[in-house]
């Protein structure tokens, strides 16, 4: 009935890296329905908000979150503080023992990072992050991290924007680690990158924005709907995640009135990427997987639904 | 030399409510310079960030900030709390004695408001705000508040966007009081409205975002560059304010490298709007006025520079 040429597997397929199947069909059907004037589920462009988790949803998060790789590099480069000597998280990080490092939770890790880069200006920190990304390589896949993004998701982001959607990142990671490259890589400008953040102060004497040693906002779990409200100010109509940290974002999104779409990347492809879910210390997918059927969230199989995982080498 | 038709006083004048003069010329020259490919001051579209204060810069703020009028209505409608009986700010507000109410500063006022609407869901509060704006009228100008916006600024926002700028509000007021109407009135979508905010929590049991009785972030004075970093993630190249609360935003903007433009609305038009500056309890303009010449900030005279103040009645 809705015979437009924006979906399907014709020559004009906007999602060529998605295999035909229920997941791809659900996406195309949703987009057609909410963008078709006259449809009972029509949504005005200003309300076509789509939010994407970053780690494990838009790019690789194994064997450790990229933010942690960056953090370890920063902590190794930092002058060790006396109070860190007996800090179990610090000691584990220095020994590349991620299991112990993760035992204290995300807050312990971020707390350490924030101490390490407090007293730096926002501009200097931005430079340090850009420098790290320019040379860092993934330990097993051996490519720059910004090339380890998922090709099917790049196509999906573009397809949504071509259909009048605004695309946002809503990540547990910090905004400053994503904003320097998100526009070039994902087509998502800095103001559409939502994430965790460190307390920042404006130093009136020097005119510089300075980093303080504390967490300002944790954009994870039940913090994701709060971050969405703070930065976007509207309930999304589409949300895409991959772990229990996205469960509340998915619920908040699909709880709203009218047609909604919630999606989860299931990492089941040890051959081309990694296979993990309920037992993983990074991107644990357990409760959200259980709750997917009742909430009609689409579980996307990396193995079956994605024809290609990463962009071809340049 | 740069003879394009986007400025000047020709038939195609994009700023018809601005009188010819130094202020208008400075704006047009700036926009031409930063958008002209090959200019040493050329700025890529993704970095053309313009930030506007709201109260007194985009719309009227006398005799009291609209947010305060809304707050008084909300507090009068709220069941009085026992702890308010002897609160001097509350008592002054109830007596419409704004001078005393302001004595405790913006934080005291916001604190009271946040107590009044804590326990409300974000959705219910949004409805209450929309209802108030639908019927409230300015006490002396007798028009809906959303019609008491400045026509020259509506033209400027449009002109900047037509030249590839992204336009943002950066206000000391709360985001939820602006986001419901900013897109229709200013063409600024919710995610480009930056402001102060109340602590919000996601109630996992009900799936609702709930208001907590505390301030989360004060986007005023030295908080404005922090809010810009948090929500926009880039230093603006143009900032427009009207009071000492904008001084740090102006400084942060014009401190950056390359060509920059800082502007201040000077309310000197008692006939068509209001005349106030150094002594005003709302929108006090004192230090920023003193610092304007050294920083090359343009002081825009409402009386001389604006041909028309408010949009014509519909
Ligand atoms: Ca994730
Ligand atoms: Ca103001």
A214: closest CA among A236, A232, A196? A196
pLDDT tens, position by position, for chain B (314 residues)? 333 334 444 468 999 999 999 999 999 999 999 999 999 999 999 999 999 999 999 999 999 999 989 988 888 888 888 888 888 888 888 888 878 887 877 778 778 888 888 889 999 999 999 999 999 999 999 999 999 999 999 999 999 999 999 999 999 999 999 999 999 999 999 999 999 999 999 999 999 999 998 899 999 999 999 999 999 999 999 999 999 999 999 999 999 999 999 999 999 999 999 999 999 989 999 999 999 999 999 999 999 999 999 999 87
Question: Does A210 lie in the same domain as A287?
Answer: yes
Predicted pLDDT of residue A100? 86
Question: Does A252 lie in the same domain as A173?
Answer: yes
Examine the pLDDT at A118 and tell me if it is beyond 90.
no
Contacting residues of B for A197, CB less than 8 Å apart: 230
Closest CA–CA distance from residue A82 to any residue of chain B (Å): 30
Residue B21 lies in a domain: no
Chain A residues at the B interface, defined by Cβ less than 8 Å, are 46, 122, 166, 168, 175-176, 179, 183, 189-193, 197, 200-202, 204, 207, 209, 216, 222-226, 229-234, 248, 251-252, 255
Predicted pLDDT of residue B11? 60
Predicted pLDDT of residue B8? 42
Going from the C-alpha of B69 to that of each of B17, B65, B254, the distances in angstroms are: 28, 7, 33
In the reported structure, the alpha carbon of residue A240 is separated from the centroid of ligand 1 by a whole-number distance in angstroms of 9
Q: How many Å apart are CA B219 and CA B173, to the nearest integer?
A: 8
Residue B73 lies in a domain: yes
Examine the pLDDT at A6 and tell me if it is beyond 90.
no
Question: Does A260 lie in the same domain as A160?
Answer: yes
Tell me the average pLDDT across A164-188. Answer: 97
In the reported structure, the alpha carbon of residue B172 is separated from the centroid of ligand 2 by a whole-number distance in angstroms of 8
Residue B261 lies in a domain: yes
| CB within 8 Å: B46 and A251 | no
Tell me the average pLDDT across A197-223. Answer: 95
Question: Does B233 lie in the same domain as B107?
Answer: no
Q: Is ipTM over 0.90? A: yes
Q: B39-47, long-range: CB within 8 Å, 24+ apart, which pairs?
A: B41/B258, B41/B259, B43/B237, B43/B258, B43/B259, B45/B164, B45/B165, B46/A183, B46/A189, B47/B234, B47/B237
Residue of A122, A234, A252 with shortest CB distance to B190? A234
Domain count, chain B: 2
Cβ A178 vs Cβ A146: under 8 Å: no
Question: Does A35 lie in the same domain as A99?
Answer: no
Predicted pLDDT of residue B112? 83
Question: Does B130 lie in the same domain as B51?
Answer: no
| CB within 8 Å: B202 and A189 | no
| CB within 8 Å: A191 and B255 | no
Residue A314 lies in a domain: no
Question: Does A78 lie in the same domain as A207?
Answer: no
Contacting residues of B for A47, CB less than 8 Å apart: none
Predicted pLDDT of residue B167? 98
Predicted pLDDT of residue A11? 60
**Ion ligand 2 — residues with CB under 5 Å?**
B 53, 55-56, 242-243, 283
Contacting residues of B for A256, CB less than 8 Å apart: none
C-alpha gyration radius of chain B: 20
| CB within 8 Å: B191 and A192 | yes
Predicted pLDDT of residue A3? 37
Contacting residues of A for B122, CB less than 8 Å apart: 229
Question: Does A276 lie in the same domain as A190?
Answer: yes
SS in 3 state form for B55-69? ECCCECCCCCCHHHH
Q: Predicted confidence band at A94 (pLDDT cuts at 50, 70, 90)?
A: confident
Supply A223's token pair.
Answer: 């913090």
Contacting residues of A for B51, CB less than 8 Å apart: none
Question: Does A34 lie in the same domain as A105?
Answer: no
Choosing from A102, A135, A168, the residue where a domain stops is: A135
Residue A129 lies in a domain: yes
Residue of B176, B202, B222 with shortest CB distance to A226? B202
Choosing from A135, A166, A191, the residue where a domain stops is: A135
Examine the pLDDT at A188 and tell me if it is beyond 80.
yes
Choosing from A77, A105, A135, the residue where a domain stops is: A135
Residue B22 lies in a domain: no
Question: Does A124 lie in the same domain as A211?
Answer: no
Predicted pLDDT of residue B170? 98
Residue B218 lies in a domain: yes
Question: Does B190 lie in the same domain as B50?
Answer: yes
Going from the C-alpha of A136 to that of each of A67, A117, A133, A144, A310, the distances in angstroms are: 12, 19, 5, 6, 17
| CB within 8 Å: A190 and B230 | no
Residue of A189, A202, A222 with shortest CB distance to B46? A189
| CB within 8 Å: B230 and A255 | no
Question: Does B53 lie in the same domain as B98?
Answer: no
Examine the pLDDT at A52 and tell me if it is beyond 80.
yes
Predicted pLDDT of residue B110? 77
Contacting residues of A for B166, CB less than 8 Å apart: 189, 191
For residue B191, the enclosing domain spans: 45-62+150-305
Which CATH number belongs to the domain containing residue B251 in this structure? 3.40.50.1000
Residue A220 lies in a domain: yes
| CB within 8 Å: B207 and A255 | yes
């Amino acid at each position: 009935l809705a015979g437009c040429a924006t979906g399907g597997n014709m020559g004009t397929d906007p999602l060529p890296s998605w295999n035909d199947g229920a997941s791809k069909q659900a996406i195309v059907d949703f987009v057609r329905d909410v963008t078709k004037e006259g449809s009972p589920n029509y949504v005005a462009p200003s309300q076509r908000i789509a939010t994407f988790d970053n780690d494990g949803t838009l790019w690789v998060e194994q064997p450790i979150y990229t933010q942690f790789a960056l953090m370890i590099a920063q902590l190794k480069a930092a002058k060790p503080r006396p109070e860190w000597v007996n800090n179990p998280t610090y000691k584990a990080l220095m020994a590349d023992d991620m299991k112990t490092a993760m035992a204290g939770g995300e807050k312990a890790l971020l707390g350490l990072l924030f101490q390490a880069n407090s007293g730096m200006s926002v501009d200097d920190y931005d430079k340090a992050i850009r420098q790290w990304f320019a040379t860092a390589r993934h330990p097993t896949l051996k490519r720059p991290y910004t090339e380890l993004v998922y090709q099917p998701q790049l196509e999906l982001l573009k397809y949504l924007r071509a259909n009048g959607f605004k695309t946002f990142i809503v990540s547990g990671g910090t905004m400053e680690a994503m904003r320097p490259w998100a526009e070039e890589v994902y087509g998502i400008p800095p103001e559409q990158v939502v994430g965790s953040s460190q307390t920042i102060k404006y130093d009136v004497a020097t005119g510089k924005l300075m980093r303080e040693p504390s967490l300002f906002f944790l954009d994870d779990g039940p913090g994701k709907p709060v971050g969405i409200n703070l930065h976007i100010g509207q309930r999304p109509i589409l949300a895409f995640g991959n772990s229990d940290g996205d469960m509340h974002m998915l619920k908040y999104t699909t709880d709203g009135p009218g047609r909604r779409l919630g999606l989860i990347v299931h990492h089941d492809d040890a051959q081309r990427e990694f296979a993990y879910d309920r037992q993983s210390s990074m991107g644990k997918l357990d409760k959200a997987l259980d709750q997917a059927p009742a909430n009609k969230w689409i579980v996307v199989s990396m193995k079956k639904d994605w024809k290609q995982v990463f962009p071809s080498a340049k």
